[in-house]
Structure 1
């Protein structure tokens, strides 16, 4: 994930991202997420794609309770925190520079008696994959991680490594540019992909992907 601070005074639409915290209500709880745009940029604010994905998870369209879940590019941790509060066993991942910040949000929002359900680990896409057992997750989550074209091959490699044919991948994103469509085509060459949710107000899509079976590839 790119860590690119911006000058909020120059972009009024981004002013909300410069608030020290943001409060959300999911899983019957108020979740207070600390933000730190000045130090960590895009990795440390809550984007609409994360909110939409949390809403989709809360709808119960996929089973989370007692499932093993991994979140890629977790940033503030909102999506992973909501998944844990909904009963999943969650590993929240991001690059090393963002981990301390991510851990602080986790500590503040997961009750002590549920703390064993969630942990933070470093994961740079396509780099340290051997530290994660291949195909060992029931669900892979990603919110607004499809935006840097140079990361697409590593992201695809990571999705392939973490998932098996039984894994459900949920990616929440805006389709801004042709490169975003290109990623969906790349994803579709290796996974079965369908759009399962669309928030028209926020213009955010949620895509579900699952590995193709050997028979499908023949």
Structure 2
């Protein structure tokens, strides 16, 4: 079987390992911290150590937390005229059970983070926005977006995944301390309809750390950018994902979803050929412009999908190989006849 047709999740029994973690200690107990390096605009202070330029971290005493314990970050001014290298620290496990794959870093998340960096360096589209990451896992993409966004909701479900996700903005507090970005980790279970339930407790100490408030739901519905990486691998979850997406994108502001996925190939006994699990089901939700026009004329809603050319997006993050099986999609939602977002 050719390399591109092999499944790129490796593991034994119920344990799986992301190919991103190949080379990490395979039997490591507890969390592991990986460093991902990429360019950073030169407005960040630097120092020289052993004849190498390194990012100089502001004092940790300047950190501040809100009532829910979420990190409040101050934003630097955007300046891409000169770039330095910085290191993003991401806490993750090396292997996990299938229900806890969000504890690992996956290839599509690194590709989507590259896209966020590309947009940040080449446009102001992400500057000062409110954004929401769906199925965030480790929160890597949302943490990168925090370099330029005003507010980022990083969402997933499960106590272990949420706790690990919340640790990563804290790990990178020194890098992000020159920003005024509000990073909030919130629970969002796709098996439940949008909007999520609001806890009625008035005291912050009595509320779940990852619960939503009414004002936060309103703010999330006003987000203009949604992000999702490697959330397409189960038809059931894909159904739930698009159900939540439809409710979320039909409320509040007009939104664009950027979704990165990795096509993993397996031999199917039903089809008697090598197929990418779940990919055809994902594509069934998307319409092209011609199909959208037909549905719009009938007053029907539709998701409009456009695949972006990854060849036009540089690889900023060094510590991975992009390969040929990753795709990046720009997705909009039209609840009725409407003009496409270009």
Q: TM-score normalised to the size of structure 1?
A: 0.83
1:48 and 2:107 are equivalent in the alignment: yes
**Pairing 1:77–2:142 present:** no
Name the CA distance, whole Å, in 2 between partners of 1:16 and 1:202: 21
Q: Where does the alignment leave 5 or more consecutive residues of structure 2 unmatched?
A: 1-8, 41-85, 197-216, 265-275, 288-300, 312-321
Equivalent position of 2:168 in the other structure = 105
Q: CA distance change for structure 1 residues 16 and 149 in 2, over 3 Å: closer, same or farther?
A: farther
Preserved contact between residue 27 and residue 85 of structure 1 (Cα < 8 Å) = no
8 Å CA contact 2:128, 2:148 repeated in 1:
no
Distance 1:213 1:160, change over 3 A: closer
Q: 2:186 aligns with which of 101, 121, 134?
A: 121
The separation in 2 between residues aligned to 1:135 and 1:38, in whole angstroms, is 34
Report Cα offsets for 1:157-179 as digits up to 9, x if no partner: 11112224721101000233152
Residue 235 of structure 2: which of 149, 166, 173 is its match?
Answer: 149
Structure 1 stretch displaced more, 51-60 or 170-179: 170-179
Paired residues for 1:11-26 under 5 Å? 15-16=22-23, 18=26, 20-26=32-38
1:168 — aligned with what? 256
Q: Which moved further from structure 2: 45-54 or 164-173?
A: 164-173
Q: By percentage of residues, which structure has more helix?
A: 1
Q: How far apart, in 1, do the equivalents of 2:278 and 2:18 lie?
A: 26
* Equivalent residues of 2:146, 2:152 under 8 A apart: yes
Which blocks of at least 5 consecutive residues in structure 1 are unaligned?
none
Residues 12 and 48 of structure 1: is their aligned pair in 2 closer, same or farther, counting only changes over 3 Å? closer
Structure 1 counterpart of 2:323, from 183, 198, 201: 201
Q: How many Å apart are 1:201 and its aligned residue?
A: 2.3
Question: How far apart, CA to CA, are the structure 1 residues paired with 2:18 and 2:226?
Answer: 33
Change in CA separation of 1:121 and 1:24 when aligned onto 2, cut-off 3 Å: same
Could you tell me how far 1:86 is from its partner in structure 2? 2.6
Q: 1:80 Cα shift? A: 0.4
TM-score, normalization by structure 2: 0.55
Q: Over alpha carbons, which structure has the higher Rg?
A: 2
RMSD: 3.1
Q: Give 1:109 shift.
A: 1.3
Number of residues of Structure 1 aligned to a counterpart in Structure 2? 214
Give deviations 1:11-45, integer Å, cap 9, x for gaps.
Answer: 79563465722211246131011112456642112
1-side partners of 2:133 and 2:118: how far apart?
A: 18
